Each structure stands twice: as structure tokens, then as C-alpha cells.
Amino acid sequence: MQILSTSNEEIDQRLAGGIPHPSFIVIEGPHGSGKTAISLLFAQAYLQANLRVTYFTSEGDGYSFVLKAQQSGFNIIDHYLKGKLFVYSMSVAMSISNDLANIMLRKITDILVKKIVDTEAIVIDSLSYLAGASADYIRLAIESFRRVSDEGKSIIITVHPDSLPQEVDLMMKNSADGYIKLNETSIAGRRLKVMTIIKLKGLQSGAQTNITFDVDPAFGIKVIPIVVS
């Protein structure tokens, strides 16, 4: 296991070095809590370490997503143009039925299996987008994610609270190497985000398990020196 710098000095200091690779990490939080920002931070860390990343997003087409990320302070567009970052859009212009969610989830799993030699890190943001899939399909996908991670890849899954069947949600968190919870809080009238590390294999001694932050359009993630319990 390696510890990779996130290229964010404040985050690296609080994590006592950076994030572990390879690892299977679940990031859970409600809408607006910073799941995509943290996912991009992790993706940026992998890319800066010269690893190839496959990113599944539910927020528009690939180029628009990368451009928006770049404008939010995440330096990933050069990697995208050089073929180091592959972006797949999960967004469809229709409601997602159970059958469609099953098909999309199976397709994602197929892509991972076929691209396993072409990528070292995978981000799925967010699995809740396909929560209408059957529990068996979601369970099989999670088992595939675990196997891919065991083969030396990093897998990042974002999810909304209570969006998956309870038994599947528990299975995913138990099998993951890391479980990070995100929430929003209000301090002096300012809305901030809080990252709580429930568990993270490879976390270095001296790391903080609660990090308060905001997303700054110019700098990406900006750590706020306030501890929220």
C-alpha cells in the first residue's frame, strides 16, 4: 500500500501524508455535502501519482464534467486530454426504471472488467443514481468492486444515506477498506462541510478523523481550522 499526496497541503497534513492506494473506499453524504469534491480530490491524487483513472459521473457528459471540475480548482483537464482520465456519463434523459438501473449497473461492471488493465483507480459518483437496481445486482457489483481492489486497484464509491437496501449497504461498508461520512454544518451563519473518517486502512499515525472544509472555486477544497464533533 502506498500513501499518495492529494496535492492539497492542508488535507495532506491532516491525513498525515495523504490517501492509501490501493483501497476500496465508500464516501457517504447527503446532497451538497461535498461527495463530488472529495471524489475529485482522490482522483486528482491518483492522476498526480501518474495512475490512470476511470470516473463514472451522474453529472452530465465527460468534457463538461472535467471542465467544471477544472473551474472548481481541480487540476484534471490535462490528464483527460492526454488519455490518463476516462470519464463515463451515467446521466440519461429519462427516469431510471428498475430494469434500466440493472442494465446500467451491469454495464459499469463490464467496463471495469474490460478496462482493468487500462486503469489503476475507479470512481463511481454516485452509486445512489442506480439505487433502483435490484439488491442482487447491487450486491454482485459490490463484490466485483472488492475483487478489483484486491487486484491492486483503488475503488471510490459515493452514496447518499439510506439510498441502498439496508443489507446491501451494510455489506458494502463492511467489505470496504475505508468509510468516510460527509455532512454539512452551520457556523456563525456560514455553511461548511465536515468529513468524518469512520475507518481507513493505511491511515497514518497522527491523522485527524474530523476535517471541516469548504469548496473554493479558485483552490478546490479549503480546510477550515475548526473541529466539529
Query: E-assigned strands of 30-102?
Result: 53-57, 85-89
Give residue 109's pLDDT. Answer: 85
Q: How far apart are CA 101 and CA 106, in angstroms?
A: 8
Q: Domain ranges in the chain? A: 2-223
Q: What is the mean pLDDT of residues 71-98?
A: 87
Give residue 40's pLDDT. Answer: 96
Give residue 207's pLDDT. Answer: 87
With contact defined as beta carbons under 8 Å apart, do 119 and 154 qualify? no
Mean of all residue pLDDT scores within the chain: 90
CATH, domain range 2-223: 3.40.50.300
Express each pLDDT in 15-47 by its tens digit: 999 999 999 999 999 999 999 999 999 999 999
Check whether 218 has a pLDDT greater than 80. no
Identify the CA nearest to 52 among candidates 124, 141, 145, 115: 115
Express each pLDDT in 170-188 by its tens digit: 999 999 999 999 999 988 7
Q: What is the CA radius of gyration of the chain?
A: 17
Q: How many CB atoms lie within 10 A of CB 5?
A: 16
List residues bridging with 3 in a β-sheet: 20
